[in-house]
């Protein structure tokens, strides 16, 4: 048996154990996307161990111990993936329930998301299109084009990295009687189209109530 290869496998098993601990912490912090990345890394390590294990002259006991650990990690991976899927579905259901509760599902809104160059906001808008209702308009533009386009929208949402432009945009929205808000950094980073659309409709509804 090649001792170095065996020690490498043991080292990778330790890394997997550490990764699984990190995943459990990320689940608690609701960082599902980070979990998926870690899970993919773990699967690659498991596949590598499986392929190398077959080439090693391991004793029955050593082979059994490694197989037991791999089976345990695969079971944990399946459990984590199930939690992630359920968590995303529950979050989506909660947002849909809130939209229905406040009548926002039938409320059409013209939303403009602005960022520095309109690139990151453009990615978000593409993802949001699957959630928009009939009559909704969702667009993305660089902040430099806001003044000439503001009349075409009901709600202006600013990307979190343009927080320093808040006073300028907010004042412009006040002058044109438009709703204004800043997208939460975590929501923007996840490109969570449902939450962003809900934020826009909440702002629009609150302004209509005034």
Question: What is the per-residue pLDDT across 157-168, written as a single tens digit (0 to 9) for each?
Answer: 999 888 888 999
Residue 140 confidence (pLDDT) above 80? yes
Query: Model-level pTM?
Result: 0.52
Question: What is the per-residue pLDDT across 110-129, written as a single tens digit (0 to 9) for each?
Answer: 999 998 877 778 888 887 87
**Alpha-carbon radius of gyration of the chain:** 24
- pLDDT bin (cut points 50, 70, 90) of residue 89 is low
How far are the Cα atoms of 30, 48, 102, 104, 137 from residue 155, in angstroms, in the given order? 28, 51, 18, 14, 10
Q: Which residue intervals of 56-145 are DSSP H helices? A: 60-101, 119-128
Mean pLDDT of 35-47: 76
How far are the Cα atoms of 7, 14, 55 from residue 150, in angstroms, in the given order? 63, 55, 66
Whole-number Å distance between alpha carbons of 191 and 210: 30
Of the candidates 125, 113, 133, which has an alpha carbon nearest to the alpha carbon of residue 179? 113
């Amino acid at each position: 048996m090649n001792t170095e290869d065996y020690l490498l496998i043991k080292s990778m098993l330790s890394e997997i154990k550490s990764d699984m601990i990190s995943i459990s912490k990320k689940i608690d912090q609701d960082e599902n996307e980070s979990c998926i990345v870690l899970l993919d890394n773990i699967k690659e390590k498991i596949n590598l161990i499986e392929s190398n294990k077959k080439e090693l002259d391991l004793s029955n006991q050593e082979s059994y111990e490694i197989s037991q650990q791999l089976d345990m990690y695969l079971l944990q991976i399946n459990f984590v993936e199930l939690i992630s899927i359920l968590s995303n579905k529950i979050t989506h259901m909660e947002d849909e329930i809130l939209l229905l509760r406040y009548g926002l599902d039938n409320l059409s809104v013209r939303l403009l998301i602005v960022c520095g160059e309109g690139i990151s906001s453009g990615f978000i808008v593409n993802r949001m299109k699957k959630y928009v209702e009939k009559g909704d308009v969702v667009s993305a533009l660089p902040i430099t084009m806001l003044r000439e386009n503001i009349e075409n929208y009901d709600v202006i949402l600013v990307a979190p990295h343009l927080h320093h432009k808040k006073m300028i945009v907010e004042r412009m929205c006040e002058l044109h009687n438009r709703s204004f808000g800043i997208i939460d950094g975590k929501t923007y980073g996840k490109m969570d189209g449902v939450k962003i659309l809900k934020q826009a409709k909440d702002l629009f509804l609150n302004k209509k109530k005034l």
